[in-house]
Structure 1
Amino acid sequence: MIRYMLKCDQDHQFESWFRSADAFDALCAQAQVSCPICGSEKVAKAMMAPTVSTTRVTGDTPSAQPDPAPAQITSHTSPLAPDQPAPEQIERAMARLRAEVEQNSDYVGVEFADEARKMHAGNAPARAIYGEANFEDTKALLEDGVPILPLPFLSKRKMN
């Protein structure tokens, strides 16, 4: 892992970790690195002091150098980009999605994989269903070409 101090075209500074220098370059080339303050994808490495470790470790001798201060964001704006929804908006949208799925689909529970396979084979009437499936069943359905999608919420059966 490698840590870089980064800077966007709006002069916001922030730090981020990457698997390697090549991974950083590849992500930047694909516009996958963006400023957490303004959302700009025009990001470059900023100057930073090198981290130097000593080879000698002494028992209880305090370090000659103080611990480095944590990196700070240099702007006083919200950490979310302006076009990002607030967490409350996301929760409301998820609740609406859940209500829509529950209203317009049949819950088949743990029989989801069997029911989806029957519908795909033409042995059961086609309809919108939702339910639960383990990893192995999900993988098998996808490998067999059964069109399924995960839902971004947990089953009510598993909720406390």
Structure 2
Amino acid sequence: MIKYNLKCKHKHEFESWFLDSKEFEKLKSKKMIECIFCKTKSIEKSIMAPSVLSQEQKQKNQKSIKYIKKIQKDLLKMRNFVEKNFEYVGNNFPREVRNVYYDKRKNKNIYGKATPEETQELEEEGIELTAIPWIDNKKN
């Protein structure tokens, strides 16, 4: 990990962490870095003092990266299971889950989308829901 001091074209200065210098350049070229103050995407590295990680810090970073990758793998397994074994009902989820809950339709496994307000209404009706972090199944 490397921390850069950054400056936008409006002279706002801020810091950000990157995996390495190549990652910074890649994100910058794709205009994926923006000023935290004015949202411009015209960003340059500013003068900075290097920050060297100790061996202990490097090991902690490696453990964190491995842990994050494991979580991503587990979430992807869960996504694949849900897509294979549940019916996707999209934005009709609140209506469809009520139909299943109130037994207007045969019990079936469904998943879909609901707004926070719709989710709260369903929970107030006694319908238990689980939100699943839906990670992209493509490699970045």
Call closer, same or farther: CA 1:89–1:155 in 2, change over 3 Å.
closer
TM-score when normalising by structure 1: 0.45
1:1-160 alignment, distance < 5 Å: 76-77=56-57, 78-79=59-60, 85-153=66-134
How many Å apart are 1:85 and its aligned residue? Answer: 4.9
**Distance across 2 between alignment mates of 1:76 and 1:154:** 30
How many Å apart are 1:86 and its aligned residue? Answer: 2.3
Call closer, same or farther: CA 1:147–1:119 in 2, change over 3 Å.
same
Q: Give ranges in structure 2 of 5+ residues lacking alignment.
A: 1-52
Percent sequence identity is 25
Partner AA of 1:120 in structure 2 = Y
1:57-98 CA-partner distances (Å, limit 9, x unpaired): xxxxxxxxxxxxxxxx98725226969952222221111110
**Distance across 2 between alignment mates of 1:79 and 1:141:** 41
Query: How many positions carry a matched residue from both structures?
Result: 87
**Distance across 1 between alignment mates of 2:83 and 2:136:** 11
Runs of 4+ in 1 over 4 A off after TM superposition: 80-85
TM-score when normalising by structure 2: 0.51
**Distance across 2 between alignment mates of 1:82 and 1:74:** 14
Q: Give ranges in structure 1 of 5+ residues lacking alignment.
A: 1-72
Structure with a larger share of its residues in helix: 2
Partner AA of 1:102 in structure 2 = E
Q: Which moved more, 1:87-96 or 1:139-148?
A: 87-96
CA RMSD, aligned part only?
3.0
Find the residue that maps to 2:95 and give its secondary structure. helix
**Distance across 2 between alignment mates of 1:108 and 1:155:** 19
Partner AA of 1:76 in structure 2 = E
Indicate if the aligned counterparts of 1:132 and 1:155 stay in contact, CA closer than 8 A. Answer: no
